[in-house]
Amino acid sequence: MTAEIFDRGYRRFEGERSGVVGAMRSLAWYTTKSMLGIGRKGRHKIFPVVVAVIAFLPTVIIFGVLALFGEGAEGFRPEYYEFLGPSETFGFLVFAHLLYATLVAPEALLRDRRDGMLSLYLSTPLTRPTYVVSKVASVALTMAIVVIGPAMLLLAGYTIQGRGPDGFTGWVEVFAKILLGGLIIVFVYCGVSMGVSSLTDRRAFASIAVILTLLGLSIVANILVLEAGMNERLLGLDPLGTPFEAATRLFGDRGNDARNLSTGYVMMVAGGWVSAGFGILAVQYRRLGAI
Protein backbone atom coordinates (compact mmCIF):
# COMPACT_ATOMS: atom_id res chain seq x y z
CA MET A 1 0.00 0.00 0.00
CA THR A 2 1.41 3.34 -1.03
CA ALA A 3 0.88 6.30 1.27
CA GLU A 4 0.16 9.71 -0.19
CA ILE A 5 0.62 13.04 1.52
CA PHE A 6 -1.32 16.04 0.33
CA ASP A 7 0.20 19.30 1.42
CA ARG A 8 -2.63 21.78 1.12
CA GLY A 9 -1.31 24.23 3.67
CA TYR A 10 -3.41 26.57 5.78
CA ARG A 11 -6.36 28.19 4.08
CA ARG A 12 -8.53 30.93 5.41
CA PHE A 13 -12.29 30.44 5.46
CA GLU A 14 -13.64 32.26 2.43
CA GLY A 15 -17.37 31.72 2.99
CA GLU A 16 -19.86 34.09 4.51
CA ARG A 17 -19.40 34.68 8.24
CA SER A 18 -22.82 34.91 9.85
CA GLY A 19 -21.49 35.75 13.31
CA VAL A 20 -23.40 35.29 16.56
CA VAL A 21 -26.82 35.66 14.91
CA GLY A 22 -26.02 32.90 12.45
CA ALA A 23 -24.75 30.66 15.24
CA MET A 24 -27.94 31.23 17.23
CA ARG A 25 -30.07 30.51 14.18
CA SER A 26 -28.20 27.29 13.47
CA LEU A 27 -28.44 26.14 17.09
CA ALA A 28 -32.17 26.87 17.23
CA TRP A 29 -32.78 24.94 14.01
CA TYR A 30 -30.67 21.99 15.16
CA THR A 31 -32.48 21.95 18.51
CA THR A 32 -35.86 21.98 16.77
CA LYS A 33 -34.90 19.01 14.62
CA SER A 34 -33.56 17.16 17.64
CA MET A 35 -36.75 17.66 19.67
CA LEU A 36 -38.98 16.60 16.78
CA GLY A 37 -36.82 13.56 16.03
CA ILE A 38 -35.89 14.75 12.53
CA GLY A 39 -32.81 12.87 11.35
CA ARG A 40 -32.94 10.58 14.39
CA LYS A 41 -34.18 7.05 14.94
CA GLY A 42 -37.88 6.28 14.91
CA ARG A 43 -38.25 6.07 18.68
CA HIS A 44 -37.34 9.75 18.99
CA LYS A 45 -40.30 10.69 16.78
CA ILE A 46 -42.94 8.92 18.89
CA PHE A 47 -43.60 11.59 21.51
CA PRO A 48 -43.74 14.57 19.08
CA VAL A 49 -46.14 12.69 16.80
CA VAL A 50 -48.38 11.63 19.70
CA VAL A 51 -48.52 15.19 21.04
CA ALA A 52 -49.36 16.61 17.59
CA VAL A 53 -52.15 14.07 17.07
CA ILE A 54 -53.70 14.80 20.47
CA ALA A 55 -53.45 18.57 19.92
CA PHE A 56 -55.02 18.67 16.45
CA LEU A 57 -57.52 15.82 16.81
CA PRO A 58 -60.33 17.97 18.31
CA THR A 59 -60.21 20.34 15.35
CA VAL A 60 -60.42 17.46 12.90
CA ILE A 61 -63.39 16.01 14.80
CA ILE A 62 -65.23 19.34 14.81
CA PHE A 63 -64.73 19.80 11.09
CA GLY A 64 -65.94 16.25 10.52
CA VAL A 65 -69.13 16.90 12.51
CA LEU A 66 -69.76 20.15 10.66
CA ALA A 67 -69.21 18.49 7.29
CA LEU A 68 -71.64 15.67 8.15
CA PHE A 69 -74.42 17.62 9.86
CA GLY A 70 -74.00 21.16 8.51
CA GLU A 71 -76.42 23.59 10.15
CA GLY A 72 -77.51 20.84 12.52
CA ALA A 73 -74.12 21.06 14.21
CA GLU A 74 -74.50 24.74 15.08
CA GLY A 75 -74.78 23.93 18.78
CA PHE A 76 -71.50 22.05 18.56
CA ARG A 77 -69.61 25.24 17.79
CA PRO A 78 -67.54 26.38 20.80
CA GLU A 79 -67.07 29.94 21.96
CA TYR A 80 -63.80 31.49 20.82
CA TYR A 81 -62.31 31.67 24.29
CA GLU A 82 -62.68 27.90 24.50
CA PHE A 83 -60.02 27.52 21.82
CA LEU A 84 -57.50 28.11 24.56
CA GLY A 85 -59.20 27.38 27.86
CA PRO A 86 -59.80 24.08 29.65
CA SER A 87 -63.43 23.91 28.51
CA GLU A 88 -65.57 20.80 28.15
CA THR A 89 -64.87 20.70 24.41
CA PHE A 90 -61.12 21.26 24.49
CA GLY A 91 -60.27 20.11 27.99
CA PHE A 92 -58.00 17.29 26.92
CA LEU A 93 -55.82 19.72 24.92
CA VAL A 94 -54.25 20.46 28.30
CA PHE A 95 -53.00 16.89 28.22
CA ALA A 96 -51.20 17.54 24.92
CA HIS A 97 -49.54 20.65 26.33
CA LEU A 98 -48.53 18.77 29.46
CA LEU A 99 -47.04 15.94 27.40
CA TYR A 100 -45.02 18.40 25.34
CA ALA A 101 -43.72 20.23 28.40
CA THR A 102 -42.71 17.01 30.16
CA LEU A 103 -41.53 14.69 27.38
CA VAL A 104 -40.43 16.86 24.43
CA ALA A 105 -39.24 20.26 25.68
CA PRO A 106 -36.62 18.99 28.18
CA GLU A 107 -34.71 17.37 25.33
CA ALA A 108 -33.67 20.84 24.14
CA LEU A 109 -31.34 21.21 27.13
CA LEU A 110 -30.60 17.70 28.27
CA ARG A 111 -29.09 16.26 25.12
CA ASP A 112 -26.29 18.84 24.93
CA ARG A 113 -25.38 18.39 28.57
CA ARG A 114 -25.62 14.61 28.37
CA ASP A 115 -23.44 14.39 25.24
CA GLY A 116 -20.94 17.05 26.32
CA MET A 117 -21.93 19.40 23.48
CA LEU A 118 -22.38 22.40 25.77
CA SER A 119 -18.61 22.89 26.06
CA LEU A 120 -18.27 22.75 22.29
CA TYR A 121 -21.01 25.32 21.76
CA LEU A 122 -19.44 27.68 24.28
CA SER A 123 -16.13 27.50 22.39
CA THR A 124 -17.85 29.14 19.40
CA PRO A 125 -19.12 32.74 19.19
CA LEU A 126 -22.04 31.59 21.34
CA THR A 127 -22.09 32.72 24.97
CA ARG A 128 -24.23 31.34 27.76
CA PRO A 129 -26.95 34.01 27.26
CA THR A 130 -27.09 33.55 23.48
CA TYR A 131 -27.06 29.77 23.89
CA VAL A 132 -30.01 29.91 26.30
CA VAL A 133 -31.92 32.39 24.12
CA SER A 134 -31.52 30.07 21.11
CA LYS A 135 -32.84 27.13 23.11
CA VAL A 136 -35.80 29.12 24.44
CA ALA A 137 -36.66 30.33 20.94
CA SER A 138 -36.65 26.77 19.61
CA VAL A 139 -38.82 25.37 22.42
CA ALA A 140 -41.26 28.30 22.33
CA LEU A 141 -41.69 28.09 18.56
CA THR A 142 -42.40 24.37 18.50
CA MET A 143 -44.67 24.61 21.54
CA ALA A 144 -46.59 27.42 19.85
CA ILE A 145 -47.46 25.02 17.03
CA VAL A 146 -49.09 22.68 19.55
CA VAL A 147 -50.82 25.40 21.58
CA ILE A 148 -51.77 28.04 19.00
CA GLY A 149 -51.90 25.90 15.86
CA PRO A 150 -55.20 24.09 16.58
CA ALA A 151 -56.93 27.34 17.61
CA MET A 152 -55.77 29.16 14.47
CA LEU A 153 -56.77 26.21 12.30
CA LEU A 154 -60.22 26.19 13.89
CA LEU A 155 -60.59 29.94 13.36
CA ALA A 156 -59.58 29.57 9.72
CA GLY A 157 -61.99 26.68 9.21
CA TYR A 158 -64.96 28.53 10.67
CA THR A 159 -64.05 31.62 8.65
CA ILE A 160 -64.00 29.64 5.40
CA GLN A 161 -67.43 28.18 6.26
CA GLY A 162 -68.83 31.61 7.05
CA ARG A 163 -69.19 30.84 10.76
CA GLY A 164 -66.33 32.98 12.01
CA PRO A 165 -66.28 36.40 13.72
CA ASP A 166 -68.41 39.19 12.25
CA GLY A 167 -66.50 41.57 10.00
CA PHE A 168 -62.81 42.06 9.37
CA THR A 169 -62.27 44.01 12.60
CA GLY A 170 -63.90 41.26 14.64
CA TRP A 171 -61.79 38.63 12.91
CA VAL A 172 -58.55 40.52 13.58
CA GLU A 173 -59.55 41.01 17.22
CA VAL A 174 -60.17 37.29 17.74
CA PHE A 175 -56.94 36.44 15.89
CA ALA A 176 -54.93 38.79 18.11
CA LYS A 177 -56.50 37.45 21.31
CA ILE A 178 -55.84 33.85 20.29
CA LEU A 179 -52.23 34.73 19.49
CA LEU A 180 -51.64 36.65 22.72
CA GLY A 181 -53.44 34.09 24.87
CA GLY A 182 -51.52 31.27 23.23
CA LEU A 183 -48.21 33.03 23.84
CA ILE A 184 -49.04 33.38 27.55
CA ILE A 185 -49.62 29.63 27.76
CA VAL A 186 -46.49 28.90 25.72
CA PHE A 187 -44.14 31.02 27.80
CA VAL A 188 -45.49 29.82 31.15
CA TYR A 189 -45.10 26.17 30.18
CA CYS A 190 -41.81 26.83 28.40
CA GLY A 191 -40.37 28.70 31.37
CA VAL A 192 -41.42 26.09 33.92
CA SER A 193 -40.29 23.16 31.77
CA MET A 194 -36.89 24.61 30.90
CA GLY A 195 -36.27 26.00 34.36
CA VAL A 196 -36.92 22.65 36.03
CA SER A 197 -35.03 20.73 33.32
CA SER A 198 -31.93 22.87 33.87
CA LEU A 199 -31.53 21.35 37.34
CA THR A 200 -30.60 17.88 36.04
CA ASP A 201 -29.03 16.16 33.05
CA ARG A 202 -31.21 13.03 33.26
CA ARG A 203 -34.24 12.98 31.01
CA ALA A 204 -36.33 10.74 33.25
CA PHE A 205 -35.64 12.91 36.29
CA ALA A 206 -36.43 16.07 34.32
CA SER A 207 -39.75 14.71 33.03
CA ILE A 208 -40.81 13.59 36.49
CA ALA A 209 -39.81 16.93 38.02
CA VAL A 210 -41.69 18.91 35.36
CA ILE A 211 -44.88 16.90 35.73
CA LEU A 212 -44.69 17.14 39.52
CA THR A 213 -44.29 20.91 39.25
CA LEU A 214 -47.08 21.47 36.74
CA LEU A 215 -49.59 18.81 37.70
CA GLY A 216 -48.60 18.37 41.35
CA LEU A 217 -48.81 22.06 42.25
CA SER A 218 -52.07 22.32 40.30
CA ILE A 219 -53.63 19.55 42.38
CA VAL A 220 -52.34 21.01 45.65
CA ALA A 221 -53.57 24.54 44.84
CA ASN A 222 -57.04 23.33 43.89
CA ILE A 223 -57.33 21.16 47.00
CA LEU A 224 -56.34 24.07 49.25
CA VAL A 225 -58.92 26.38 47.67
CA LEU A 226 -61.79 24.13 46.63
CA GLU A 227 -61.65 21.54 49.39
CA ALA A 228 -60.01 23.33 52.34
CA GLY A 229 -61.75 26.65 51.60
CA MET A 230 -58.59 28.73 51.74
CA ASN A 231 -58.07 32.07 49.97
CA GLU A 232 -58.68 31.94 46.20
CA ARG A 233 -55.41 33.74 45.58
CA LEU A 234 -53.68 30.44 46.28
CA LEU A 235 -54.90 29.34 42.83
CA GLY A 236 -51.95 31.39 41.59
CA LEU A 237 -49.78 28.48 42.77
CA ASP A 238 -51.31 26.45 39.91
CA PRO A 239 -48.89 26.71 36.95
CA LEU A 240 -51.11 24.45 34.85
CA GLY A 241 -54.35 26.39 35.07
CA THR A 242 -53.10 29.96 35.56
CA PRO A 243 -52.05 30.57 31.93
CA PHE A 244 -55.37 29.19 30.68
CA GLU A 245 -57.23 31.51 33.04
CA ALA A 246 -55.13 34.43 31.76
CA ALA A 247 -55.94 33.52 28.16
CA THR A 248 -59.63 33.17 29.00
CA ARG A 249 -59.65 36.66 30.56
CA LEU A 250 -58.57 38.12 27.20
CA PHE A 251 -61.95 37.04 25.82
CA GLY A 252 -63.87 38.62 28.67
CA ASP A 253 -64.68 35.38 30.44
CA ARG A 254 -63.73 33.88 33.79
CA GLY A 255 -63.18 30.34 34.96
CA ASN A 256 -65.62 29.16 37.62
CA ASP A 257 -62.94 28.41 40.21
CA ALA A 258 -61.08 31.74 39.77
CA ARG A 259 -64.13 33.90 39.11
CA ASN A 260 -63.44 36.22 42.06
CA LEU A 261 -59.80 36.85 41.18
CA SER A 262 -59.03 40.09 39.39
CA THR A 263 -57.66 39.96 35.87
CA GLY A 264 -54.66 42.01 36.97
CA TYR A 265 -53.80 39.43 39.62
CA VAL A 266 -54.13 36.55 37.16
CA MET A 267 -51.86 38.26 34.63
CA MET A 268 -49.34 39.14 37.34
CA VAL A 269 -49.18 35.53 38.55
CA ALA A 270 -48.76 34.26 34.99
CA GLY A 271 -45.88 36.68 34.53
CA GLY A 272 -44.44 35.50 37.83
CA TRP A 273 -44.36 31.90 36.63
CA VAL A 274 -42.60 32.99 33.43
CA SER A 275 -40.04 35.01 35.40
CA ALA A 276 -39.45 32.21 37.90
CA GLY A 277 -38.91 29.56 35.23
CA PHE A 278 -36.57 31.56 33.05
CA GLY A 279 -34.85 33.01 36.12
CA ILE A 280 -33.92 29.51 37.32
CA LEU A 281 -32.75 28.66 33.81
CA ALA A 282 -30.51 31.75 33.61
CA VAL A 283 -29.01 31.25 37.08
CA GLN A 284 -28.34 27.56 36.48
CA TYR A 285 -26.53 28.12 33.18
CA ARG A 286 -24.51 30.96 34.63
CA ARG A 287 -23.17 28.50 37.19
CA LEU A 288 -22.33 25.77 34.69
CA GLY A 289 -18.68 25.49 33.69
CA ALA A 290 -17.72 25.44 30.05
CA ILE A 291 -15.72 22.28 30.54
In percent, how much of the chain has pLDDT > 90? 21
9-13, 92-96, 210-214: which has the highest mean pLDDT? Answer: 210-214
| pLDDT tens digit sequence for 16-52 | 766 788 888 888 898 888 888 887 777 777 878 888 8
197-216 average pLDDT score: 89
Higher per-residue confidence, 275 vs 89: 275
Whether 278 and 198 have beta carbons less than 8 Å apart is answered as: no
Q: Is the pLDDT of residue 226 over 90?
A: no
Give, in order, the Cα–Cα distances in Å from 50 to each of 73, 86, 96, 137, 260: 28, 20, 8, 22, 36
Cα 235 to Cα 254: distance, rounded to the nearest angstrom: 13
Q: Is the pLDDT of residue 77 over 60?
A: no
Q: Is the pLDDT of residue 121 over 80?
A: yes
- Between CA 84 and CA 244, with CA 72 as vertex, the angle to 5 degrees is 10
Cα 60 to Cα 154: distance, rounded to the nearest angstrom: 9
Q: Is the pLDDT of residue 2 over 70?
A: no
Whether 132 and 281 have beta carbons less than 8 Å apart is answered as: yes
Provide the b/e sequence for 11-30 (b: ≥16 CB within 10 Å).
eeeeeeeeeeeebbeebbeb
Give pTM, 2 decimals.
Answer: 0.84
Least Cα distance to 241 among 64, 58, 94 occurs for: 94
Q: pLDDT band for position 236 (50/70/90)?
A: confident
| pLDDT tens digit sequence for 244-287 | 888 888 887 777 777 788 889 999 999 999 999 999 999 998 88
pLDDT of residue 210: 92
Cα 225 to Cα 235: distance, rounded to the nearest angstrom: 7
Mean pLDDT of the chain: 80
pLDDT of residue 191: 93
pLDDT of residue 54: 80
3-state secondary structure of 168: helix
Least Cα distance to 140 among 288, 35, 22, 280 occurs for: 35
Q: Is the pLDDT of residue 158 over 60?
A: yes
pLDDT of residue 90: 45
Higher per-residue confidence, 276 vs 74: 276
Cα 209 to Cα 196: distance, rounded to the nearest angstrom: 7
